Amino acid sequence: IFTLLSTQHDHTPAYTERLGAPMGTTVRVRVRTTLPVTGVSLKFVRVGEIESVPAREIDPIGAEPGRWFEADLPVHEGRVRYAWQLDFLNDHLNLTGLGLHRTRRGFRSWFTYLTGHTAPEWAWESVFYQIFPDRFRNGDPTNDVQTGEYVYGDRVVEHVAWNTPIDSWGDIHGHYGGDLNGVTQALPYLQDLGVTGLWLTPIFVSPSNHRYDITDYRHVDPHLGGDEAWDELVRESAKAGIRIVLDGVFNHVGNENALFRAAVDDELSPERAMFTWRDEPGKLPYHAFFDVPTLPKIDYRNETAVQEFFSGEESVVRHWLRRGAAGWRLDVAHMIGTGGTDEDNLPLHRTLKRAAREETADAYVFGERFYDPEHALDGQGEDGSMNYHGFGLPVMQWLAQANMMFEPSLLNGEELVEILWDAYHALPPQVALSMFNVLESHDIARALYRVGNDRTQFLAGVTLLMGYAGVPCTYYGSEVGVTQSRDGAMPWCREAMPWDESQWDMDLRGRMKALIGVRRATRALHRGGLRFVHAEEDAVAFLREYTQEGGLVERAAVIASRRAERHEVSLSLPDGEWRDAVTGEVFQGGHVTLDAAGGRILLLN
């Protein structure tokens, strides 16, 4: 897992001629080493067999120490696995991802070259902010849901006053009145924080406050300001340099949806085939998301359903991209399909992605996946996925003080690094850079709460989030210290955003803003490689490097610590003067002092 600082290869231009080259071509790849090698060869897998070609020594590129070797990698399959072999007088060393150990994935810890692929590179440069519209900001009280307008089960749904802490059934199911008008009003706030992307949880016509039970996919809920509020938000956010990704609820519709109503009302209707039916005593007559009656599952064996949502000229996917969305987050991506296995569903996901890309050439499409997403990320379907598995959950398991709901065990720094490396390295670089990294969301407990409201530990998470490979996304309110009133995930993580500034944690906000600024200003963090250099019980560190064609290297070192008192961490860093990108403090020789800020992002002067 730990890097040999003496040797380097990654996906950046000096080391990999180009990314995403078409199948059937070759790509020049290079490695640099200061070790006393007698020869270097490139190994790659072709139809299951390992082949090996000698690398030729070339003139050094740039000023970094070491000798350079080059070889041609034939890219003959969708994903080509390759590795370097360094030969010594009496020995050789295989560099599978420049790690010294084999990871649990063994063979698959080789480098991966992805052919014929374009990534939505704007997303790599973005910092996202997740908004749950009912709870972010009420920009127009006249459009609020009124008490009595909806009924859930046999109880009347209430309008809840903004500052009410979530406590009763009424608050859980209630509507607080947030809307898109409020998001537009908050654009200066978001811009000031440095955010450049928004992920909005569903905004279409729906009875619930979360709106995952969609009645009409073609219109924005009037309680959120309707289609006009969307158009205004798109216009104003573009001016503010902010793009918007929508939540695509494509596994199920709401039970009030016209397609489902038609299917229920008439067994002979064509809509009948868009859902799956069953006749078992005590069960719903149709398949639904976790058997929730309001969420009947769509059956994509039906071509009309595929057309309606994905591929048709007027599909939902196309419609909202045309109307200004920059991409889609796919709700329960692992479920969207034909009822078969995850693998069976991949062709459908490719269809969805193709339609999105036909509409908007750089649309960003990523799935919600709580589990290992590797099999779904071959570049042809989703660009990346929500990175709970390979980032957010393990990071929080390392930071969490208490064993909360989804954290069966705590991790130490070494274990954390092993898990992160394993997940990162299983993916081709463009996919790894397109992963949607989160520490928290509207589905899991707030990160600040899970660390016992310890600001240092939370900031350690934010430091990792802003420094890591993949697209960072923060959750509304976390920047000012919004936490929870009790244990558990939803609904307690969905408190209304306080707009009374006297309730804000200004120090926290200042630090997050600074880290967001560093993320945005540092190319190595957008598109650099990833090498872990250190782990101990309470601290971890990695390098992010981007080496240009001419050899000029941009380098950041990210160090996170969960200990609040001032302490020193000793680690090996490439030689030079390292400057804290936020405070300006300078460190030499790899002795770095850490404090209550939870970590540092250092740049090589």
Q: Where on the chain is the footprint of ligand ARE (CB under 6 A)?
A: 210, 212, 249, 289, 292, 295, 331-332, 368, 370, 406, 442-444, 489-491
Structural contact between residues 551 and 64, judged by C-beta atoms closer than 8 angstroms: yes
By CB under 5 A, residue 254 contacts Ca ion = no
The smaller minimum CB distance to ligand ARE, of residues 194 and 392, is found at 392
Q: Pick what 289 binds: ligand ARE, Ca ion, none; C-beta below 5 to 8 Å, kind-dependent.
A: ligand ARE
Structural contact between residues 27 and 79, judged by C-beta atoms closer than 8 angstroms: no
Interface residue with Ca ion among 138, 251, 302, 345 (CB under 5 A) is 138
Interface residue with Ca ion among 134, 158, 171, 179 (CB under 5 A) is 179
**CA-wise closest residue to 302 among 332, 269, 280:** 269
Q: Pick what 157 binds: Ca ion, ligand ARE, none; C-beta below 5 to 8 Å, kind-dependent.
A: none
Q: Pick what 352 binds: Ca ion, ligand ARE, none; C-beta below 5 to 8 Å, kind-dependent.
A: none
SS (H, E, C) 272-298: HHHECECCCCCCCCECEHHHCCCCEEE
The smaller minimum CB distance to ligand ARE, of residues 489 and 581, is found at 489
The smaller minimum CB distance to ligand ARE, of residues 260 and 289, is found at 289
Span interacting with Ca ion, options 179-187, 277-285, 382-390, 543-551, rule CB under 5 A = 179-187
The smaller minimum CB distance to ligand ARE, of residues 298 and 518, is found at 298
Query: How far is it, in rounded angstroms, from Cα 177 to Cα 175?
Result: 6
Structural contact between residues 381 and 353, judged by C-beta atoms closer than 8 angstroms: yes
Q: How many chain residues touch Ca ion (CB under 5 A)?
A: 6
Q: Pick what 491 binds: Ca ion, ligand ARE, none; C-beta below 5 to 8 Å, kind-dependent.
A: ligand ARE
Q: Pick what 554 binds: ligand ARE, Ca ion, none; C-beta below 5 to 8 Å, kind-dependent.
A: none
By CB under 5 A, residue 202 contacts Ca ion = no
The smaller minimum CB distance to Ca ion, of residues 138 and 255, is found at 138
**Other CB atoms within 10 Å distance of the CB of residue 148:** 10
Structural contact between residues 136 and 183, judged by C-beta atoms closer than 8 angstroms: yes
The nearest distance, CB 416 to ligand ARE, in angstroms, is 18
Q: Pick what 138 binds: ligand ARE, Ca ion, none; C-beta below 5 to 8 Å, kind-dependent.
A: Ca ion
The nearest distance, CB 461 to ligand ARE, in angstroms, is 17
Q: Pick what 407 binds: Ca ion, ligand ARE, none; C-beta below 5 to 8 Å, kind-dependent.
A: none
The nearest distance, CB 547 to ligand ARE, in angstroms, is 37
DSSP E strands, 392-444: 436-438
Residue type at 85? Q
- Cα distances (Å, whole numbers) of residue 289 to 163, 275, 386: 32, 12, 19
Query: How far is it, in rounded angstroms, from Cα 579 to Cα 601?
Result: 8
Interface residue with Ca ion among 126, 143, 215, 483 (CB under 5 A) is 143
Name the pairing type of β-strands 216-220 and 151-152.
unpaired
The nearest distance, CB 157 to Ca ion, in angstroms, is 15
By CB under 5 A, residue 437 contacts Ca ion = no
DSSP E strands, 249-373: 327-330, 364-367
Interface residue with Ca ion among 120, 174, 177, 394 (CB under 5 A) is 177
The smaller minimum CB distance to ligand ARE, of residues 184 and 201, is found at 201
Active site members: 331, 368
The two structure tokens encoding residue 141: 């009280």
**Other CB atoms within 10 Å distance of the CB of residue 480:** 18
Neighbouring residues of 405: CB distance < 8 A, sequence distance ≥ 6? 444, 445, 487, 488, 489
The smaller minimum CB distance to ligand ARE, of residues 395 and 543, is found at 395
The nearest distance, CB 208 to ligand ARE, in angstroms, is 7
Annotate 564-597 with b (16+ C-beta within 10 A) or e (fewer).
beeeebebebbeeebbbbbeeeebeebebebeeb
**CA-wise closest residue to 496 among 144, 119, 73:** 144
Which residue ranges make up the site for Ca ion (CB under 5 A)? 138, 140, 143-144, 177, 179
